[in-house]
Amino acid sequence: NTPRLWTVGRGSPAGVVVYRHHAFPARYREGVFTVCWTMGRVDFSPLTRAGSTFRAPHLETFMEAVGDRGFAPVDVVVGPAGDLFVAIGGRGTVGSVYRVRYTGPRTPAPERHDPLQQVLAADQPLASWSRAKWVPQARQLGARAFEHAAANPKLSLAGRIRAVEVLVEVFAGLRPDLARQLSRDADPEIVARLAWALTRS
């Protein structure tokens, strides 16, 4: 088993999502939202790199009910505008869906006119609404664009890793010559993502 990010004690963890959007303040980006049905709350933890894994320095209560109003969350997702959608209910409790929207000052999302960058930096890239946008763009660009991106040491690490993921998800994996090249890469995270890619090709 991999080490735990945190120990929460008694509860029913029912849903989890990594926030990969720009709408919430920067401290929430790449952090983890979890919901607990038993305790009736949504928790959040930022993540920090720790070698080949992550650490969660702390767990904070993000959302919970007050008074006698029922709140039994069962799942959480991120919508296209960056809002959190929290579903509640089950076992005779009140069923509903809450939308949590950040209303403070926002940092505008960076404008990306380059179609390749639009794919590599897509918000919530595993969500179906996001895939509906970036997958057709990726197919139009073709595998070669992502092969060059994966091998380009001048590109950001996140962009290179995402290029490897796109090659696996859309183009059935990496060509042997690219795999050999990435296996000698100076960044261990690229080599680790290559190992992941080879098991799925």
Q: Are 124 and 78 in contact (CB under 8 A)?
A: yes
Strand partners, 17: 33
Chunked mean pLDDT (size 10), the chain, 201 residues: 76 90 93 92 90 83 84 94 94 88 81 88 96 97 97 95 97 96 94 94 76
pLDDT digits (tens, 9 = 90+) for 38-64: 889 999 999 988 776 788 888 899 999
SS3 97: strand
Rounded to two decimals, the pTM is 0.87
The position carrying tokens 């890793």 is 161
Provide the pLDDT for residue 57. Answer: 85
Burial of 103 (0-12, 13-18, 19+ CB in 10 A): exposed
Provide the pLDDT for residue 110. Answer: 66
What DSSP string runs through 123-171?
Answer: SSTTSHHHHHHHHHHHHHH-HHHHHHHHH-TTS-HHHHHHHHHHHHHHH
C-alpha dihedral, 78 to 167 to 50 to 16, nearest 10°: 20
The DSSP output letter for 23 is S
Distance CA 180, CA 185 (A): 9
Provide the pLDDT for residue 171. Answer: 96
What CA–CA distances, in Å, run from 170 to 65, 138, 173, 192?
A: 42, 8, 8, 19
Distance CA 37, CA 44 (A): 15
Annotate 128-151 with b (16+ C-beta within 10 A) or e (fewer): eebbebbbeebeebebebbbebbb
Provide the pLDDT for residue 68. Answer: 72
